[in-house]
Structure 1
Amino acid sequence: MSTHAARLTAPDGCRGLPAHPQRRIRSTSPTAAPTAAPSASPGTVPKPGPARHAARPDEHLDGHLDGHLDGHLDGRFFRQVLGRFATGVVAITAVDPADGRPCGLAANSFTSVSLDPPLVAFCVAHSSSSWPRVRGAKAVTVNVLAEDQQAVCARLAAKGGDKFAGLAWTGSPGGNPVIDGALAWMDCAVEAEHPAGDHVIVVARVLRLGTQGEGGPLVFFRGRYGGFAEAVPSL
């Protein structure tokens, strides 16, 4: 049986199903291997030795500072730590009722919330110029992007311009863009918006949904995009 490993490629600037027990993350960025502790002989209990380093309260177990600066979190370090949590990438699309043109944005903060009722959520920055146009529609559509759609993600994440120029799509049952090549789509009605710091948490009810392909997803991890690749487990 083969397993999957995340293959992370070019640099960058619905959960709810249990993870595969043999799935592992492989990053293209070199990382230092952890130092193994000396092993004890079978049947013996290792004796405690003198501590070589007493960790300060502001240090993690791996020795890195926890990012506190005079009682405040270092924003850059906060982003760096959160970047170690791999996420999928979605495109939120709609048709602007003001001019009838497609609009959308990219997000990696999408998550499933509830099965009954069927709810999902995603986060949008207060500074987003696209969300007011998307929010004006009666329904929005979540497109789960495939691993070869990094260019689509970059286009929808950009500010200004016609994001859908040259972008192939078809209409969902709700009339919103379903981007060609996306793995899945969900027509949703926004149920609530919760202000949270510099973002708003959007909770939406899934009305209709479907799949389009069987490829791998677009993954974002430690500032890089990537996808899943087949890997043979070591014996």
Structure 2
Amino acid sequence: MTATENVAAAPPAATFTDAMSRLVSGLAVVTTRQSGGRPCGLLVSSICSYSVDPPSVLVVVDHASRCREPLTHCAEFGVHVLGSAQERTARTFASRGADKFADIAWEWDGAVPRLCAAPIYLRCNVAAMFDHGDHTILIGEVTRTEVREAEPLVFYRRLFDWRLRGNGVRQL
């Protein structure tokens, strides 16, 4: 049996998950304020530019995420695209830790928790939201953008430690 036959014999969800793990994506932390006033955040790899006019992003959040409920009740949220120096931040926000903000430099930007070290910060107003399957899709209209030069942190084949370099991709 060949490797191709092994993949074809896998259940459809497993085959799809494996296929999508081979799609290179950036990593971002999405943040908002919980109803009790505490910050909330999660790591996402399902994020993309949605529109230029008005400037908008599309973010996808798993229904099982503890941050989903606050995000579905917020008026605004932050998107922090991570750079190669934020691998620890990515792991923190991917975890189920109780206080993900404890060891992270952050500040309030109005009602939005803003991570200080992220090379790209987008403050967004919720423009649209809908459920599909086991995820919620948020469309955020960008009201503030901050960009600093940094090498991106890339998610590929379920690993956080890929980095893009000027001459290609290299795994550490």
TM-score interval, normalised by the smaller of the two chains: 0.7 to 0.9
SS in structure 1 at match of 2:4: coil
- Quote how far apart the aligned CAs of 1:140 are: 0.3
List structure 1 runs of 4+ shifted beyond 4 angstroms: 66-69
Q: Which residue of 1 aligns with 2:30?
A: 92
Q: Which residue of 2 aligns with 1:10?
A: none
Residues 130 and 230 of structure 1, relative CA distance in 2, 3 Å threshold:
same
| Equivalent of residue 113 in structure 2, options 177, 199, 208 | 177
Residues 79 and 63 of structure 1, relative CA distance in 2, 3 Å threshold:
same
2:13 maps to 1:75 = yes
2:152 maps to 1:152 = no
- Quote how far apart the aligned CAs of 1:183 are: 0.9
- Quote how far apart the aligned CAs of 1:149 are: 1.0
Indicate conservation of the 8 Å contact 2:74/2:126, yes or no. Answer: no
Q: Which residue of 2 aligns with 1:165?
A: 102
| Equivalent of residue 197 in structure 1, options 124, 133, 153 | 133
Letter in 2 for 1:224: L
Q: Which residue of 1 aligns with 2:70?
A: 133
| Cα distance in 2 for residues equivalent to 1:196 and 1:183 | 30
Residues 192 and 145 of structure 1, relative CA distance in 2, 3 Å threshold:
same
Indicate conservation of the 8 Å contact 2:61/2:135, yes or no. Answer: yes
Letter in 2 for 1:161: A
In the superposition, the TM-score normalised over structure 2's length comes to 0.86
Residues 63 and 166 of structure 1, relative CA distance in 2, 3 Å threshold:
closer
| Equivalent of residue 102 in structure 1, options 18, 39, 64 | 39
| Equivalent of residue 55 in structure 2, options 118, 122, 125 | 118
| Equivalent of residue 186 in structure 1, options 122, 135, 143 | 122
Residues 230 and 112 of structure 1, relative CA distance in 2, 3 Å threshold:
closer
- Quote how far apart the aligned CAs of 1:151 are: 1.4
Q: Whose helix fraction is larger, Structure 1's or Structure 2's? A: 2
Deviations 1:77-128 (A, max 9, x none): 21111111100000001122x2221111110000011111222101111111
| Cα distance in 2 for residues equivalent to 1:73 and 1:198 | 18
Residues 230 and 209 of structure 1, relative CA distance in 2, 3 Å threshold:
closer
2:155 maps to 1:217 = no
- Quote how far apart the aligned CAs of 1:204 are: 1.5
Q: How many residues align?
A: 166
SS in structure 1 at match of 2:41: strand
Gaps of 5+ in 2: none
Deviations 1:159-199 (A, max 9, x none): 24011112111333x44222122011111111222221111
Indicate conservation of the 8 Å contact 1:67/1:78, yes or no. Answer: no
How large is the RMSD of aligned CA atoms in angstroms?
2.2
Q: Whose strand fraction is larger, Structure 1's or Structure 2's? A: 2
| Cα distance in 2 for residues equivalent to 1:152 and 1:135 | 23
SS in structure 2 at match of 1:119: strand
Letter in 2 for 1:222: R
